[in-house]
């Protein structure tokens, strides 16, 4: 009896200890701009590994940037994880994020560190992925439509109302696509191209991952997407395939930043260091089926992930297209000349 009491007291003490321990580790407020399953896995695993409680909000890259801008020097989040690199660069330029050098930088790919240097050490690469065309193999076959192979194919009347892409105001993916076209064609020609493409677009979705999910469900034949997301849908059993544009294509350096004025700076740095490790980077594939190229050199490329070295990539000018004013100008021009078309 006495032993049982002692055991109960010990268990109670242990619980109190665990609770105190968690409280002592503190809290991290995380804005997350990758797929929600991946965001949740990151929050759960980091909390389990460190005892730090995570409050996570998932939003697209453009939406996260808008929230961070609105909060200004009184940010609600400590860290912004993932999403395309350009808005992270814009946030760095606008002094909304802060410099940090992680001891784990030495484990990263050169492109991840280039992003860090270009941003004044405020944004670092966590993954990379290329833009291409996702398509529903069954739907296109049924309609007798040849899949697109080149940007020039997309304006063909055979794709009338058959293509979906995201809206650059909310989606980082959509902005990468616009910046890619501008770099490939020249700015005026790119806008002329997007106006010609417009009749073939059935919807400008809010999120960059919306269009490929619509392809998977058979709601649209073709999407402009990151091609790793097409493989995720195929792995989930949907009749989805992809091609990368014959003229060349752009890519993202999915990034991470610590916010300026972060209230939980110790926890933010701990998260940042953790998120650069190979086991944390593997979570994208293990928990979310995500197939981006991880920035940690020891994190393996997931099976069947698109191999960036096999894709014709442009020399994407991240410094120029990540500039806040350039980003704003191109999105405003898109609103005026493309998004507002009937
Ligand atoms: N989800 C995944 C899997 C991504 O690779 C990216 C790009 O970084 C995003 C979401 C970003 O989405 P959005 O285009 O809505 O900003």
Q: Whose CA is nearest to atom 1 of ligand 1?
A: 34
Helix (H, G, I), strand (E, B) or coil at 135: strand
Residues 273 and 183 placed together within one structural domain of the fold:
no
**Residue 178 neighbours by CB under 8 Å, 6+ apart:** 168, 190, 194, 330, 331, 334
Domain count across the chain? 2
Mutation pick for ligand 1 pocket among 38, 42, 59, 61 (CB with most ligand atoms within 8 Å): 61
**Orientation angle between helical segments 36-50 and 265-275, nearest 10 degrees:** 110
Q: How many CB atoms lie within 10 A of CB 312?
A: 11
Residues 36 and 149 placed together within one structural domain of the fold:
no
pLDDT score, position 21: 54
CA 92 to chain centre: 17
Residue 312 lies in a domain: no
DSSP letters spanning 14-71? HHHHHHHHHHHH-EEEEEE-S-HHHHHHHHHHHHHHH--EEEEEE--HHHHHHHHHHH
Residues 174 and 245 placed together within one structural domain of the fold:
yes
Residue 109 lies in a domain: yes
Residue 318 lies in a domain: no
Q: How many CB atoms lie within 10 A of CB 14?
A: 10
Residues 96 and 193 placed together within one structural domain of the fold:
no
Q: What is the CATH number of the domain that holds 181?
A: 3.40.190.10
124 touches 80 (CB < 8 A): no
| Cα angle value 136/141/146 (rounded, 5°) | 90
**Orientation angle between helical segments 61-71 and 85-93, nearest 10 degrees:** 20
How many A from CA of 337 to the centre of ligand 1?
24
Residue 269 lies in a domain: yes
Residues 24 and 161 placed together within one structural domain of the fold:
no
54-106: pLDDT as tens digits = 999 999 999 999 999 999 989 999 999 999 999 999 999 999 999 999 999 99
For 172, the enclosing helix (H) or strand (E) is helix 172-185
Residue 203 lies in a domain: yes
Mutation pick for ligand 1 pocket among 63, 89, 165, 173 (CB with most ligand atoms within 8 Å): 173
How many A from CA of 16 to the centre of ligand 1?
40
Q: How many residues does the chain have?
A: 342
Residues 54 and 90 placed together within one structural domain of the fold:
yes
Residues 232 and 287 placed together within one structural domain of the fold:
no
Residues 192 and 137 placed together within one structural domain of the fold:
yes
Residues 110 and 182 placed together within one structural domain of the fold:
no
Helix (H, G, I), strand (E, B) or coil at 98: strand
**Could you tell me the end-to-end alpha-carbon distance of the chain, in angstroms, rounded to an integer?**
80
Residues 139 and 61 placed together within one structural domain of the fold:
no
Residue 230 lies in a domain: yes
Residues 6 and 63 placed together within one structural domain of the fold:
yes
Residues with a CB atom less than 6 Å from ligand 1 = 33-35, 60-62, 82-84, 129, 166, 171-173, 207-209, 226, 229, 252, 254, 290, 292
DSSP letters spanning 241-280? EEE--TT-B-EEEEEEEEETT-S-HHHHHHHHHHHTSHHH
172-196: pLDDT as tens digits = 999 999 999 999 999 999 999 999 9
Residue 267 lies in a domain: yes
Residue range of the domain that includes 50: 2-127+254-301
Helix (H, G, I), strand (E, B) or coil at 4: helix
Q: pLDDT tens track of the chain, all 342 residues?
A: 343 443 333 333 333 334 445 557 999 999 999 999 999 999 999 999 999 999 999 999 999 999 999 999 899 999 999 999 999 999 999 999 999 999 999 999 999 999 999 999 999 999 999 999 999 999 999 999 999 999 999 999 999 999 999 999 999 999 999 999 999 999 999 999 999 999 999 999 999 999 999 999 999 999 999 999 999 999 999 999 999 999 999 999 999 999 999 999 999 999 999 999 999 999 999 988 999 999 999 999 998 999 999 999 999 999 999 999 999 999 999 999 999 999
Residues 200 and 330 placed together within one structural domain of the fold:
yes
Mutation pick for ligand 1 pocket among 66, 67, 82 (CB with most ligand atoms within 8 Å): 82
Residue 310 lies in a domain: no
Q: Whose CA is nearest to atom 10 of ligand 1?
A: 34
């Amino acid at each position: 009896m006495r032993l049982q009491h002692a055991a109960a007291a010990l268990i109670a003490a242990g619980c109190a200890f665990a609770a105190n321990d968690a409280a002592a580790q503190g809290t991290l407020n995380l804005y997350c701009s990758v797929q929600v399953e991946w965001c949740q896995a990151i929050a759960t695993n980091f909390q389990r590994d460190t005892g730090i409680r995570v409050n996570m909000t998932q939003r697209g890259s453009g939406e996260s940037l808008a929230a961070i801008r609105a909060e200004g020097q009184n940010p609600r989040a400590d860290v912004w994880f993932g999403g395309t690199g350009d808005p992270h660069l814009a946030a760095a330029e606008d002094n909304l994020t802060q410099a940090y050098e992680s001891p784990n930088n030495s484990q990263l790919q050169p492109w991840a560190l280039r992003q860090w240097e270009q941003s004044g050490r405020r944004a670092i690469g966590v993954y990379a992925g290329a833009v291409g065309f996702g398509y529903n193999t069954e739907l296109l076959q049924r309609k007798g439509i040849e899949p697109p192979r080149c940007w020039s194919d997309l304006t063909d009347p055979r794709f009338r109302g058959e293509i979906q892409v995201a809206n650059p105001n909310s989606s980082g993916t959509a902005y990468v696509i616009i910046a890619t076209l501008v770099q490939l064609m020249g700015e005026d020609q790119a806008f002329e191209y997007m106006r010609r493409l417009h009749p073939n677009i059935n919807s400008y979705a809010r999120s960059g991952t919306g269009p490929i999910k619509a392809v998977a469900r058979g709601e649209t034949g073709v999407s402009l997407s990151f091609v790793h997301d097409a493989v995720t849908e195929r792995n989930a059993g949907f009749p989805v395939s992809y091609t990368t544009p014959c003229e060349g294509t752009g890519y993202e350096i999915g990034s991470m930043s610590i916010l300026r004025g972060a209230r939980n700076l110790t926890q933010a740095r701990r998260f940042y260091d953790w998120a650069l490790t190979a086991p944390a980077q593997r979570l994208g594939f293990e928990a979310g089926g995500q197939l981006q190229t991880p920035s940690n050199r020891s994190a393996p490329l997931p099976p069947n992930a698109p191999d960036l070295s096999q894709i014709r990539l442009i020399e994407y000018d991240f410094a120029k297209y990540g500039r806040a004013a350039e980003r704003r100008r191109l999105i405003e021009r898109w609103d005026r000349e493309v998004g507002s078309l009937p």
